[in-house]
Amino acid sequence: MPATSLEQIVSLAKRRGFVFPSSSVYGGLASTWDYGPLGVELKNNVKRAWWKAVVHDRDDMEGFDAAIVMNRLVWKYSGHEATFSDPMTDCRNCKARPRADHVFAAQKGRDPKNLDEINAAIAAKELKCPKCASTDLTAARPFNLMFRTTVGAVDTGDDSGLAYLRPETAQGIFVNFGNVLDTMRRKLPFGIAQIGKAFRNEITPGNFTFRTREFEQMEIEYFVRPGEDEAAHQAWIDARKQWYRDLGMRPENLREREQSKDELAHYAKRCVDLEYKFPMGWSELEGIANRTDYDLKAHSRSEQNPDAVGSLTYFDQQAKQHIVPYVIEPSAGADRATLAFLCDAYEDALVKDPPAEETTKLRELVESFVKSTAKRESLAKDVKDRLVAEGEAIASALPGSLPRLLGLMEDTEANKIEVMKKLRGVGEKIAEEHTRTVLHLHPRLAPITVAVFPLKKNEGPLVESAKSIRQELRQAGLRVVYDDTGAIGKLYRRQDEIGTPWCITVDFQTLQDGTVTVRDRDTMKQERVAAKELPGSLSARVR
Ligand code: GAP
């Protein structure tokens, strides 16, 4: 059973050291997250896999790492200072500050054409505050999403030291196009890839790490001759989709979405979003745009840009003239990709049926939950209907629906119903013995590749042998841990929950013939294998 709600992922992430709410000792900071010991390994593996695929495994790409704080003029001429904003309106009645374009879209059933259209609708009292339904809304004003900072020791108050934390990594690549072209003696087509932090003062962050104010991007700017742009664009759409598939993402959870003419940025010729089916619905994972020659022209000296020192052009030997290349931009989020891989890998599974009397008790509690929910007047109708339907479906299919009950037990709304406390007490105990949570992460992404256990922790030779196998696997470049802190079954379960593909148990037979038991996370099958073959065979499966 895959995760039915993001809360299941959040709960596992916190419980097992993937992601924690940031600054939690001071009560946290809204929508800000810290990656724990396993989370940083997973995200690093995602970034490493991306870098390998788009830089090391290709002949037409270079890597780059630009500064986060750049000359303010970069953001003036990229257009971000003037236009990187969301329109906000204030409700004079309840003081809410919603995004005006979202209010317009929700209440008119279509996106607004521009700010004027939103403000005409506000003036005509056609839009209501989504919180209190008042039509007393202020005219919408643009709210710039860039975080401001000051460069230098003194803030003079006149904006002379004003700088921004970059809202995207892309511009650092555009303004360095000439440097890379000259130093690496590149010919078109070629691209530049960069991974780095970006910052946006998002109005509505949320859905865990899906939308945050500080995040990491993995961006490519691929430069081509005008006329060769459409084929290169399609090739990147296919390559980027294949990358997610190669790392195990289920095809049914990944789709392409062509942006409509209305959605396209003014400079874009075409843009295709790769979307993932997150528990909250289909959402953007990566955008792949044909940005034409807009960016290189914007940062080249011209009447519109007297501040640039030169031209970001390419001398075409065949045509014997300078041209401005077109740019194809596959732009992905490292945090969003990590979240998608986590969601895709998650499974709660029943491993054995609980005794009949335990199932009966559980069914009675779920039925009681359904009754209480149906009676609860303070619940919104759509929430009530969803919880009742889910409870009824679970009650009618127990014990097979036990994994599904785990999802309900993590649901924030369901936890507002009194009987859920009792249901959780009973359900969690039964689930612990009869279900397992597994992360079916691709071996290349899993935070830990192999866990090695001695059958008995008090038997010196077993411990010694297990530690020496760990060392050999480490030398083969694998991420390996040794654990002797529980019974083997419990250790398997712990490793399943964090996505470790293989567990190795060293027992008395190992001391005689050098073989160990290798247990596969996905099939739970155990195989007897010669320990000396493992470094070679396992590292081949991770490459
Ligand atoms: N240079 C183009 C660009 O930045 P974007 O669609 O704004 O395009 C690209 O961002 C990707 O960056 C998104 O597809 C998403 O994966 C990630 N991203 C954007 N905003 C984000 C946020 N607030 N939190 C997490 N990831 C974000």
Lowest mean pLDDT among 19-33, 203-217, 407-421: 407-421
229 or 393, greater pLDDT: 229
- Name the E strands within 300-364: 314-316, 321-323, 326-333, 346-350
pLDDT band, residue 111 (cuts 50/70/90): confident
Nearest CA-CA partner of 329 in 215, 181, 170, 168: 170
Distance CA 253, CA 380 (A): 29
Q: What does pLDDT average to over the chain?
A: 94
Q: Of 2-11, 210-219, 225-234, 241-250, which gets the smallest average pLDDT?
A: 2-11
DSSP type of residue 56: I
Q: How confident is the model at residue 507 (pLDDT cuts 50, 70, 90)?
A: very high
pLDDT(153) > 80: no
- Ligand 1 contacts (CB < 6 A) are 168, 170, 200, 202, 211-212, 215, 217, 219, 284-287, 329, 331-333, 335-336
Looking at the predicted structure, is the pLDDT value of residue 431 above 90?
A: no
Among 33-47, 130-144, 383-397, top mean pLDDT goes to 33-47
Residue nearest to atom 14 of ligand 1 (CA): 286
**What pLDDT is attached to residue 158?**
78
pLDDT digits (tens, 9 = 90+) for 168-195: 999 999 999 999 999 999 999 999 999 9
pLDDT attached to residue 403: 83
Q: Separation of 84 CA from ligand 1 center, angstroms?
A: 13
Given this model, what pLDDT does residue 159 score?
A: 82
Q: Is the omega angle on the peptide bond into residue 189 within 30 degrees of 0, that is, cis? A: yes
Helices 334-345, 37-51: axis angle to 10 degrees equals: 110
Closest CA to 170 of 357, 11, 333: 333
Does residue 480 surpass a pLDDT of 80? Answer: yes
Residue ID of nearest Cα to ligand 1 atom 2:
331
Q: Which pLDDT value is given to residue 4? A: 85
Those residues with Cβ within 8 angstroms of residue 131's Cβ, 6 or more apart along the chain or in another chain: 91, 94, 96, 98
Query: How many angstroms separate the CA atoms of 286 and 53, rounded?
Result: 16
Q: What residues contact residue 337 under an 8 Å CB cut-off, 6+ apart?
A: 46, 50, 218, 244, 285, 286
- Ligand 1 centroid to Cα of residue 303, in Å, is 31
Per-residue pLDDT averaged across 76-93, rounded? 94
Largest CA distance in the chain: 86
Find the mean pLDDT for residues 520-539: 96
Task: Quote the ligand 1 centre to 320 CA distance (angstroms).
Answer: 38
Cross-strand partners of 94: none
Question: Among residues of the chain, what percentage have pLDDT more than 90?
Answer: 85
Bridge partners (DSSP) listed for residue 323: 314
pLDDT of residue 412: 85
Structure tokens at 310: 């030169």
For ligand 1, atom 6, the nearest C-alpha belongs to 287
121 CA to centre of ligand 1 in angstroms: 30
Is the pTM here over 0.85, yes or no? yes
Q: How far is CA 171 from the centre of its chain?
A: 22
Ligand 1 atom 16: the closest Cα is on which residue?
A: 333
Which one, of 328, 236, 258, lies nearest residue 290 by Cα?
Answer: 328
Band (pLDDT 50/70/90 cuts) for residue 504 is very high
* pLDDT > 90? residue 113: no
For a mutational test of ligand 1's pocket, the pick from 336, 338, 339, 343, i.e. the residue with the most ligand atoms closer than 8 A to its C-beta, is 336
Residue nearest (by alpha carbon) to ligand 1 atom 20: 211
Residue 160, pLDDT > 90, answer no
Residue 262 has a pLDDT of 83
What integer pLDDT is reported at residue 2 of this predicted model? 87
pLDDT at residue 1, rounded to an integer:
84
Instruction: Give bridge partners of residue 327 from the DSSP assignment.
Output: 223, 292
Query: Does residue 156 register a pLDDT over 80?
Result: no
Q: Which ligand 1 atom lies nearest to the CA of residue 287?
A: 14
- Rounded to whole angstroms, what are the CA distances from 357 to 229, 354, 360, 362, 433? 66, 8, 5, 9, 15
- Ligand 1 centroid to 85 CA: how many Å? 14
pLDDT tens digit sequence for 244-268: 999 999 999 999 999 999 889 989 9
Distance 217 CA to ligand 1 centre (A): 7
